[in-house]
Structure 1
Amino acid sequence: MMRNAISLLIALIVPCLGLQAQDFHLSQYDAAPLYVNPAMTGMFNGLYRVHGHYRNQWSSVVSPFSTTAFSYDTQLEKFNVGGIVLNDRAGTGNFNVLNFVGSAAYDYTIDKDTKKNHHIAGGLQVGIIHKSVNMSKLIFPSQYTSTNSQPFDPGIPNSEIFSNTNFIIPEFNLGLLYYLANDGSKVNPFIGFAMFHLLSPNETFYENDNKLPRRFVTHTGVKINLTKDIQVTPKILIMNEGNANERTISVMGAYYLKNADAWIFAAPTYRSFKFREFGTNDAIVAAVGLKYGSFTYGFSYDINISSLSSISNGKGGFELSITYVAKKITFPKPACPRL
């Protein structure tokens, strides 16, 4: 009984947090660079890059929260261009967020003469966000009755007045990135900053003012080439949006399989989350992957360690990602900061 009550409470509250607090997140964030920083558009060796991503979360507690992402980017002579589509469906009310942006970046080599490959890149994204909710699937206090035989009656009017059940708002994002891409160096650091929802447009299903908070992203790390076959990359992602704060710390280890001509990698990850005065350890993430030929495959699973773990039995969410990079480009470009 208590489990059902808490599950119902989560089903009611979480979609609202999704609207007023923080954007959806990806545990394999570095597999989707256009999601992290517009300046990372075109940061790869190849002709073009296609990426697909799927995340399913909290299916053991409430209706699953699912996130899907698709992106494409390519390199031109002077600029890198691309685009990303993200769709997030949350909870019982099918609260849905569809985000589509075009992305462009310019990559400047600081020291072309010395060939040390220090780079600064700037990027921007322009697009739209569409948000919608299915009111018929939401539960309201007015629909509860005092009868034991039928404590909840969905036929009772919910007494809620919504001016609309969907809306479209503009999206404008900026990003900056510094990285060293030198295969001959044992240490290749990178650091990036991005700001999303720069215009902070009004988002509401009512006729009131509710500004979408700007999301500030800082991501940094260093790829360390221990040997020709072994790489270690400690990295940190910090996201702040309104009253919400998220920190992700991970260490990715990669090993080159000579006989298979492939890289295998694993990235144990810790994530914490804070909303207003409420802070918690959110999840431990186990992530593994394979880079073979033009494809990179990733799989991760979130182990919930927050106060919800007693309800979810530690089950969080799983993610799948796949990236294809077409080879080979005719003019030189730096290596991707990730791997």
Structure 2
Amino acid sequence: MRKLIVILLAAAAMVTNSLAQDYHFSQFYANPLYLSPSLAGATDGARLAINYRNQWPEISKAFSTYSVSFDNFFPKFNSGIGFYLLQDKAGSVGLTSTHAAFQYSYNLMISKKWQVIPAVQFAYGNKSVDFSKIVFPDQPPGSMGATGSYDRLSNEQIHYIDMAASLFAYSEKYWAGLTIDHLSKPNYSFLNEESRYDLKYVVFGGMNIWSQKRRRTGQQKAFSSSFRYQHQGQYNQLDIGVYWHNFPIELGFWYRGLPVFNNSGSTALNQDALIALVAYNWGPIRVGYSYDITISSLGWSTAGAHELSLIFEFNQNGALRLGGKRPAVPCSETANPLSSKGGKYTRKKRRFF
């Protein structure tokens, strides 16, 4: 009975929370365009990324999130462009959220070691819900919404335009980025009332701790750490962890939570999950799987979350690396994008975790 009550309470709160809060991916570097518009065009050519997240699978019709993105770097203009399409489905009432975005980034070399990438994003959003699946307390049995509660739900779909801006800076060892989303503060209410998205701030970064290249094969071993902090309205979240790469295998482990801050005035300890990642690189293709081990008060009742990612890089131009003219973005197995011996970058391409 206790488990059933927890599940019912979680399901009841799920739709309300999903209206005001953004979508979430544990493998944030495997979904780079959603993390930051500045990462559009971050490879030496074209990249296709596909992501799927199944959150709380023990709860029927909980969160299922899909995304697909494409980006490309144009050396002639020193710029990158990106597109992504994301859809999230939640709850038994069929709440569906769709988000489509276009991104533009520009690469600035401010020194021999540091590069800065500002970027902008323009997006279209849509939310829809199936009112026929909602039963209200004041609704007579067998009726189809002839109640005061039903009358308030006048919109089955919401359409809005949004904007975001970002800045990303990195050297051969360190990287840091800032993304500010929902600059237009779009209205997401189904009730002809004003309920607007809060600004979302995302700060992310990390450090390449150690790397080693095999002499015979040129393949890389690397160890790095990274973090992502998100703030939106009264909600705060921190992901922090480490990655280990031994080509072609990648392993990652990190913690999600922020115990020193409580969300929405709650007295509960603000911690969510432990995440484990395993990924395999096969030529230009990288496949990753991660699992969220829930450590919040929900415990094992929700069965955590499963997440899959697929990245395919093609039309890569390794000549852009020569002489450090466009050093590789860190946060990958390439822990030393600017060679300290000879001044040339020897790898032809880089990958994200």
Return the TM-score normalized by structure 1.
0.86
Which residue identity does 1:58 align to in structure 2? W
Give distance in 1, aligned partners of 2:133 and 2:5: 17
Letter in 1 for 2:271: N
| Pairing 1:68–2:66 present | yes
- How far did 1:202 drift? 1.9
Query: Structure 2 unaligned runs (5+)?
Result: 214-219, 321-325, 333-353
Q: How many residues align?
A: 311
Over aligned residues, Cα RMSD in angstroms? 1.9
CA distance in 2, matches of 1:62, 1:108: 48
One-letter amino acid of the counterpart of residue 48, structure 2: V
Task: Establish whether residue 311 from structure 1 lines up as the match of residue 310 from structure 2.
Answer: no
Amino acid at match of 2:330: P
One-letter amino acid of the counterpart of residue 37, structure 2: P
Say if 2:40 is the partner of 1:41: yes
The answer for the alignment partner of 2:317 in structure 1 is 329
Of residues 302-311 and 163-172 in structure 1, the stretch that sits farther from structure 2 once superposed is 302-311
Give aligned-pair identity as a percent: 28
Report the CA distance between 1:120 and its aligned residue. 0.4
User: Distance in 2 between the 1:199 and 1:298 partners?
Assistant: 34
What does residue 345 of structure 2 align with?
A: none
Letter of the structure 2 residue corresponding to residue 120 of structure 1: V
Match of 2:282 in 1: 292
Deviations 1:96-124 (A, max 9, x none): 1101010110011122xxxx441000011
Of 8-17 and 325-334, deviating more is: 325-334
Q: Which moved more, 1:51-60 or 1:275-284?
A: 275-284
Amino acid at match of 1:226: S
Q: Hey, what's the Cα distance between the residues in 2 that align with 1:89 and 1:117?
A: 43
Is the CA contact (8 Å cut-off) linking 1:43 and 1:337 kept in structure 2? Answer: no
User: Equivalent residue for 1:170?
Assistant: 161
The structure-2 alpha-carbon separation of the partners of 1:33 and 1:133, relative to structure 1 and needing over 3 Å to count, comes to same
Gapped runs of 5+ residues in structure 1?
A: 146-152, 182-187, 257-262
> TM-score if structure 2 supplies the norm length?
0.83
Residue aligning to 1:253: 244
**Is 1:234 aligned with 2:225?**
yes
Report the counterpart of residue 120 of structure 1 in structure 2. Answer: 116
- Find the aligned partners of 2:296 and 2:229 in 1 and give their Cα distance: 18
* Alpha-carbon distance between aligned partners in 2 of 1:140 and 1:234, rounded to the nearest angstrom: 49
Deviation readout 1:148-173 (Å, 9 max, x if unpaired): xxxxx575746332120111111101
CA distance in 2, matches of 1:301, 1:268: 10
User: Take 2:199 and 2:252, find their aligned partners in 1: how far apart are those partners?
Assistant: 29
Q: Hey, what does 2:235 align to over in structure 1? A: 244
More strand by share: 1
CA contact (8 A) 2:230 2:238 kept: yes
